[in-house]
């Protein structure tokens, strides 16, 4: 039976900014990719804690969840650009649901995202051909006054 070597090669050191900046991944930061990055960061941190400290019991899982939650938040996209903000909101909501983010902290994160989204310039809305014209609908739906007027004329 082969024994495992206690000396393992140290992982390549990645600068802290690169580990926290979700833009280091390839491709645009859509809500789906943001969620994937956050979930992957959580799982990596949880597994690393369990490998180093855990025996696999419930108590170790509880303690492993804290650094995993920090990693989850660290992988959230920056609040810049509409797609990144939507990804941030998706990660915050999902993090609250799975317990990676405390509800009080989640409320703060969602409030920050709401402010960032409100600060974004409005997108120009294109007028679709299927959109009803309010002026035309106002004439067609206002039957009551015309009916009263025609009834008054016929009785006079």
Any domain includes 25: yes
Any domain includes 29: yes
Any domain includes 152: no
Q: What is the domain count for the chain?
A: 1
pTM to 2 decimal places: 0.62
Any domain includes 31: yes
Any domain includes 142: no
Answer for the pair 59, 4: CB distance below 8 angstroms, yes or no. Answer: no
In a 13 Å sphere around the CA of 47, the CA atoms on its Cβ side amount to: 6
Any domain includes 10: no
Structure tokens, 77: 């996209």
Any domain includes 95: yes
> Which residue in 103, 54, 94, 58 sits closest to 76, CA to CA?
94
Angle at the Cα of 119 (from 118 to 123), degrees rounded to 5? 80
pLDDT (tens digit per residue) in 111-147: 999 999 999 988 766 555 555 555 555 555 544 455 4
Q: What is the span of the domain harbouring residue 37?
A: 16-119
SS3 label, residue 156? coil
Tokens 């402010």, located at residue: 115
Any domain includes 35: yes
pLDDT (tens digit per residue) in 42-99: 999 999 999 998 777 788 888 999 999 999 999 999 999 999 999 999 999 999 999 9
């Amino acid at each position: 039976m082969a024994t495992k070597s206690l000396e393992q090669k140290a992982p390549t050191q990645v600068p802290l900014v690169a580990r926290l900046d979700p833009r280091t991944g390839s491709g645009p930061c859509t809500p789906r990719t943001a969620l994937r990055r956050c979930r992957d960061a959580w799982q990596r941190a949880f597994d690393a804690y369990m490998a180093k400290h855990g025996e696999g019991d419930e108590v170790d899982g509880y303690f492993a969840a804290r650094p995993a939650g920090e990693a989850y938040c660290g992988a959230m996209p920056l609040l810049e650009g509409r797609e990144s903000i939507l990804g941030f909101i998706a990660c915050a909501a999902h993090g609250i649901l799975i317990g990676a983010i405390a509800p009080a902290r989640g409320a703060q994160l969602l409030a920050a995202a709401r402010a960032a989204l409100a600060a974004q310039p409005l997108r120009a809305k294109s007028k679709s051909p299927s959109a009803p014209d309010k002026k035309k609908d106002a004439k067609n739906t206002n039957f009551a006054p015309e009916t009263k007027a025609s009834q008054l004329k016929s009785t006079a």
